[in-house]
Every structure is written in structure tokens, then in C-alpha cells.
Chains A and B, each alone.
Chain A
Amino acid sequence: MASSSSSGLTFKLHPLVIVNISDHYTRVKSQLNPPPLTSTSATVNGVENQQQAPRVYGCVIGVQRGRTVEIFNSFELLYDPSTHSLDRPFLKKKQELYKKVFPHFYILGWYSTGSDAQESDMHIHRALMDINESPLYVLLNPAINPTQKDLPVTIYESELHVIDGIPQLIFVRSSYTIETVEAERISVDHIAHLKPSDGGSAATQLAAHLTGIHSAIKMLNSRIRVLHHYLVGMQKGDIPCENSLLRQVSSLLRRLPAIESEKFQDDFLMEYNDTLLITYLAMFTNCSSTMNELVDKFNTAYDRHSRRGGRTAFI
């Protein structure tokens, strides 16, 4: 069912959507399994020890510009188990509300939780097709698997394929990238690592900033190593040569150096000089402030208007 998408659209997902879906799921799960009360009854409604994994449903909204689809936000929807479809009037209501605050966002598709796309999901998918002719299906797998390395979020699109002579709509997987704005990145960073919210000393600020960059560079380094290892293996002949991969690596290498022009060097040096200038000014301000304090203290210590007259040492 899940083969590779061929629609050519690029998908960008914002972390807010992921946190939204996760929160929705945690909430619903938590209401179904109330936390154990401290009173005597061990099993309140019998569902205590069961780990129910409810499916939650919702809508994703965002912007589509040309071939790029950017998913910004999401909201919850009600699922009607009897008709196996989403509650339509509720959807309309929510859409209106969100349009007032975010007028640029359109409904791009829907989301759900689970481990894999199911047949019944196609029903819901089809129902949404009248709002958006090619909706997306974002699936989050809420199972916490400590060995997992990759984000358990998949985006599916629907495509018309001919199977056994019958044209059918099936789900196909699409790749996506994580896109973010600066403010979002800082808050995600903040939540993820729970950095100290107050300033701390200048040293902790510096340490925090550099540690962030350091971790990112370590990741980059490890990825490059993997690639390098693979290429060495190919050179030795252990791994069969794959030309498309080689072409990609070669184009990647050719992109370095990233920017190399006179104008960039000039602008860069100008920015560098600006920062140095600001530092210089700050140092000046600091020095004059200290001098001012010194002069004040001097004046207090050697007060010429005092009765004793002349300069006297302050005991």
C-alpha cells in the first residue's frame, strides 16, 4: 500500500503540528485511563491496568505555494464511529474559527494516530476530497520505542492506481522536511532541553549557545562520516557501485564552498566590524561608568567642603 509518491510535491512540516497531535493523543488517553486515586479502590473502572490506545483525529492546516506544501497548524475533529466519518458541521465550525485568526491557512488534510494506514482511513480521506482535491494524511505513531531513530510521523497522499484492472485510490508515502521559524526553533529547543529560562551569567549563556551549535556540528560530522565510510567501501569494492548516489554526493561536494564572492566577503567583514564596534562602544560605556563611580568615591573620600579643610584621609 505504501509505495513512493510521485506527485512531485515537497512537504514541509512544522514542529507545532507534531506537538499538537501528541498533546491531543495524551489528553484523550489520559481521560480514558484516569490516574490511580490514592484511596482504597485499586481498579476504579476496570480499565486502569489496560493500556488503551485511542485513535484521535484532526485536521491539518497550512499553505500551499506552487509545489510546496507547508503544514503550519492543526486542530482536533470528532469521529463518528457509526458512520465511519468525521463530524462535518464540527469541522465547518472549527474551520470558521481558525480562519478568523489565521486567514491565510487552508485545510490541507487530516491526521490520525496509529501504527499504519488502514483501509477504513481511505473512507475518511475520500470524504475530505470535496474540501481539498488532494488531501494529505498525516500519521503519528504514538508507541514509544526507545530504539527508534526516526520520527514516527509519515505523510501519505492518495493516488489513483490500477490494481487488478480496477482503478483504486491507495495511499502512497511522501517524504517531508521539518521547517521552522526562528521563534519556533527557540521554544522547541527550550522545551526539549529545558535550558535555564533566566539569563544566568554570561558564561552560562555562552555555554548554552555554543553547546547548541556544537551538537549540531557533531550531527553533521557523524552524517558525513557515514557517507565517507560508504564511499570508501564502494571504492574497495565491498559494496556495488550505485551511480545515482555517486552523482548526488558529487553534486553535494560541488556546492562547497557555499558562497564565494567579493561582495559576500565585503558584507561579512562589514558585519564583523560592526560587531567589533559595538563591543568597543560597550567597553567604553563600561569604562566611563566605572570611572564615574571612582570619581564619586574620590569626591566622598576627599571632600574639600568639609570643616576639616584640605585633604584628609578617610578612616
Chain B
Amino acid sequence: MDSAIAQKTWELENNILTVETPDPSSDSIFYYDEAAQAKFQQEKPWANDPHYFKRVKISALALLKMVVHARSGGTIEVMGLMQGKTDGDAIIVMDAFALPVEGTETRVNAQADAYEYMVDYSQTNKQAGRLENVVGWYHSHPGYGCWLSGIDVSTQMLNQQFQEPFLAVVIDPTRTVSAGKVEIGAFRTYPEGYKPLDDPISEYQTIPLNKIEDFGVHCKQYYALDITYFKSSLDCHLLDLLWNKYWVNTLSSSPLLGNGDYVAGQISDLAEKLEQAENQLAHSRIGPLGPPRKKEESQLAKITRDSTKITVEQVHGLMSQVIKDILFNSVRQSSRSQNDQSGPEPMIET
């Protein structure tokens, strides 16, 4: 199948490693070994090393559920819990479920009925064959990026004291749709007073002006974990077959239409940042006092990066629209017979 060849060439060029080979015997990750988990809980190797957990493996199902739930909240933050287990220095997230709480930034932790819900849900799950324990919580930051706010940091620190091992995951559904890739981050906080030995290099992301203070104050108190995904052999098989019906949706999606106000918000935010940068630059007439450190970027350079990102997303969206226009709009009825042509071309070109 041509699409399979295209996919393979692309994968080869980009060194994509499939996390789990689609082999029924490798579905062992789905097996829950109660004894091993209990033993790990008792040993508590994370108590001595705040940086113990380094990786997160998220199952296909958990990712799908979390993203759909986050998106269904619209502009309201939503939250939920994740179930899974640990495996050495990795936390494995097998499933996720939503909690009936309305998120506001000022809420420290979930209310009483959310706890009741959690207990009920865990019980019914155990009966239905989902044996894992709650291993973390997730919430959404619609439109303003994947990081932990001050409230989130204090909640997570509390969780890490009493409910270890615990993980915090943040999803941004608006940026996911706008950028065409999943915006997700997994974090663990450092205990109070701990200073990390080296400065972890995290991926740059643009933060809106009204949140940037909150981000800056707390960004040193937690670290991000690497996220990988896995799926079962049956999932692989089904997803491959799903493509046969799914290509229609890929072609018919139009991200530009869905995200108009998000982009407008981003641009106005960028304009404000530019004004700030202008003021900053006007005050510093004298050249830099010493050779500037490589990691620090001037305000203007950051703004340039943000604007490039917005533009790239817009251009991608427009490309899809133009392609669709060529495919479906520039045809006319004609009485000429069509010769067999190779490659994707519309039926008759004007």
C-alpha cells in the first residue's frame, strides 16, 4: 500500500523507534503483578532520591481519554486521575478517568464528593478487572501551556508526601488542536528546600503574559519527565485498520476554523510582550556589560520564536485548505474521457 511505504520512509528518515513491537507476547506490560508492586511500595526507593523517577510510559487508551476529556472542557480546566504502576525508574500509566470537579485556579484540592467518586470508581474498577492503583493526577491548561502553576505545585508536593508514587500530568487541548501534535507534560516536584544539582534543559514554550509570573516563580521547583507511549498488539492492528476509514477525517479537518480565537489571543498577547520588550530595550542604551550567557535570550528573540511558531501553524492550516480547494473545487464537467494517470490528481483540471 503506498501510504504504508510513505509512512515507512518517513519513519526511517526520522529514526522513529516503535516502542513496542506488535507481538502478542510483548503485551506483558498489561499484566499487573500485585506482589511485585506491593514489594516496591515497601522499599520506597524514591524516598532518598528526589530525582528517582525519570520516565513515564502512557498507554494509548490513557492518552486518548485524557485528551478527549481535556478538550471536552473547552476553556474550563478539567482534572482527573490516572491509574497504573511503577517499573524501576518509570511510572506506567495504564488508564485515566475523569473527576466531577470544576477546575478553577484557586482550588487547592478536590472536594469531598470527588474523593467519594474516586473511592467508588476504584472499587468498581477492581471488580471489573482493572487492578492498578491510582498513580497520579492530570489536569488541563487550555491555551496556556504545559507547566505547573503555584497551586499545582503545592498540590503536587502534598501528594508526593502522602500518596507516593504520584505523578502530575498537564495537557493543553487548545494547543494540541492548533499545533497538530499532542501538548502534554509530566512533572514531579522536588521536596521543600531541595536545590537541583544541574539546570534541567526543558523545551521552550510560549507562556501568555498574564501567567508568566506564576510560571517563573515556580519553574525551578519541579522537573519534567520523559514521556513515551505504548500500545498493545491488538491496538496496533485496530489502529492500522482504522486508517481505512479514518483518512476521510484527516482530509476534512480544518484547524484554522476551529482555533480562530485562540490564534487571535496569541497574537494580541505577542503584541503586549512586544510593548514590554520595547520599554526594556529603550532603557538599556549601554551595550551588554559582559559576554552574554548562551542560555539567556533577549526578550525580542523569544518574541521572534513565538511569532514563528504561530505563523508556522497558520501556514500549515492554510496549506490544508488550499489543497482541499484544488482537489474538490477546481473541477468542471467535461465530456472528454479521462486517461489513467499516476499520482493524486483531481479528476479534470481546469
Contact = CB atoms under 8 A, between A and B. Distances in A.
B115 interface: no
B3 A218 contact: yes
Among A78, A205, A275, the most chain B Cβ lie within 10 Å of the Cβ of A275
A97 interface: yes
Contacts of A303: 287
A26 B27 contact: yes
A234 B130 CA distance: 55
Nearest to A214: B6
B100 A101 contact: yes
A282 B182 contact: no
Interface in A201-256: 202, 204-222, 224, 228, 256
Interface residues of A, number: 104
Given A219-B247, A275-B314, A144 B30 contact: no
A209 B315 CA distance: 11
Nearest to B226: A197
A286 B308 contact: yes
A271 to B, nearest CB: 7
Interface stretch (A3-11, A39-47, A61-69, A177-185): A177-185
B58 to A, nearest CB: 9
A15 to B, nearest CB: 6
Given A30-B31, A191-B239, A216-B251, A209 B229 contact: no
B288 A30 contact: no
Interface in A255-289: 256-260, 268, 271-272, 274-275, 278-279, 281-282, 285-286, 288-289
A199 B305 CA distance: 12
B57 to A, nearest CB: 13
A197 B224 CA distance: 14
Interface stretch (A115-123, A145-153, A156-164): A145-153
B238 A27 contact: no
A217 B327 contact: yes
B28 A215 contact: no
A19 B14 contact: no
Given A28-B129, A30-B30, A185-B250, A191 B234 contact: no
Interface stretch (A126-134, A165-173, A292-300): A292-300
Contacts of A220: 247, 251, 327, 344
Contact of A25 (B234, B247, B329): B234
B312 A178 contact: no
B128 A178 contact: no
A197 B227 contact: yes
B242 A194 contact: no
A77 B318 CA distance: 45
A278 B255 CA distance: 16
Contacts of A268: 321, 325
A76 B129 contact: yes
A90 B251 CA distance: 41
Contacts of A293: 298, 301
Contacts of B311: 278-279, 281-282
Interface stretch (B117-125, B154-162, B207-215): B117-125
A4 B182 CA distance: 39
A188 B6 CA distance: 18
A193 interface: yes
B307 A23 contact: no
Contacts of B317: 275
A312 interface: no
Given A151-B245, A190-B63, A213 B124 contact: no
A309 interface: no
B18 A194 contact: yes
Contact of A188 (B233, B239, B310): B239
A149 B241 contact: yes
12 contacts: A15-B64, A27-B130, A101-B98, A182-B177, A183-B68, A185-B246, A188-B239, A192-B242, A198-B203, A216-B247, A275-B317, A281-B311
Given A151-B245, A209-B319, 17 more contacts: A18-B238, A26-B235, A27-B130, A31-B31, A186-B67, A188-B239, A202-B312, A208-B10, A214-B3, A228-B338, A271-B318, A278-B310, A279-B311, A279-B315, A282-B310, A289-B300, A293-B298
